Amino acid sequence: MTRAYVIAFAIALAVIPTSAQQALAPTRVLFIGNSLTFWNDGLWVHLERFAGHATPPVGLTTGRSVFPGAFFKSLWQRREPREAIRSRGYDVVVLQEDLPETRVEDFREHARRFVGEVRQAGARPVLLMAWAYPRLGWITMAEIAAAHRAAADELKVDVAPVGLAWERVRQQPPSLDLYAPDREHPSVAGTYLTTAVVYATVFGKDPTALDYVPGGMSADDAALLRRVAWETVHAGAR
């Protein structure tokens, strides 16, 4: 699959939250996933900072149930993620799969289970579509996107199209390196872009005007990543 195909896929995949969902004004967000979520202090820390720089600021409370090397099937086999969903009164639960680590069939099956748990708890599920990486190269970014699109269609859930945003950034000159030195986990820029996509998906708001910039990044690079995040998410509304 070409990168152009992957970028085009964003138009069909990215989902803007409905007006009814935006009216909920989420203030409690739970993250479930693995090290792609908890790298660089954790997406929850950066999402709180994004929300705090909004106008007006959003007082966001976050939680996490994250385990290294985990994927939906192994997360389902643990008690803690489901207990977190059921007992802590979250508005939104961000579910991060790591498709290179598992099978598409297992992703689809356990996405159904987790989405059911989240809805039973009265929260809104969001699937975080992560990225491909060289260590486990059996699946392409386009195939990861297709699997998430199919899950979104079946389960009627929003997808935070992070992997597609990563592909867009790779098309931008100069290309920012979104990978950490291990070429699997995110660099600070990768975590920042991921958070911007999650922010845009969860809140349905444009992050481009926010001025939160983490240490080690330039304001110009951060502005580029926020713009790409919004373009990728907003493409689904066109």
Give me the residue spans of the domains in the chain: 3-237
H helix runs in 29-161, sequence order: 35-38, 43-52, 72-76, 80-87, 104-120, 141-155
Question: Please, is 181 exposed, middle or buried when counting C-beta atoms within 10 Å of its C-beta (0-12, 13-18, 19+)?
Answer: exposed
pLDDT over 70, % of the chain? 89
Averaged over 103-108, what is the pLDDT?
A: 98
CA angle 171, 96, 118 (to 5 degrees): 135
- pLDDT class for 24, splitting at 50, 70, 90? low
Q: What is the CATH number of domain 3-237?
A: 3.40.50.1110
Q: Judge whether residue 38 has pLDDT over 80.
A: yes
Element (H, E) at 190: helix 188-203
How large is the average pLDDT for residues 96-102? Answer: 96
pTM equals 0.89
| Residue-wise pLDDT tens digits, 109-123 | 999 999 999 999 999
